[in-house]
Structure 1
Amino acid sequence: MRKTLLFLFFLNASLTYAQFPLHKNSVRATVDYMTLANPDDAGLRFSVQAARHFLNDRFVIAASFGYLTYSADQQTFTDVPLGQDQRTRITGDLTFLYDFLPTNRHALRVGAGPSLWYRDDNILAGYYLVRLPDGSLATTSVQRERRQANDFGYHLTVEYEYLIKPNISLHSRIGYADLIDGGISGMAGLGVGYRFSFKKRAVAQPVSQ
Structure 2
Amino acid sequence: MEALLKFSDIIDAVVTRVGKWASLLAIPLMIVILYDVIQRKFGGQGSIKLQELEWHLHTGLFMLCFGFAYIRDAHVRIELIRDNLRPRTRAIVEMIGGIICVLPFCALVLYFGFDFVARSFESGEVSASTTGLTHRWIIKSTIPIGFGLLAMAGLSIFLKCFVYVFGPTNLHKRAGYYVGTHHLEELGTAKIKD
TM-score (normalizing by structure 1): 0.21
Flag the structure with more relative contact order, 1 or 2, with Cα contacts below 8 A and sequence separation at least 6: 2
Q: Which protein is bigger by CA-based radius of gyration?
A: 1
Name the structure with the higher strand share: 1
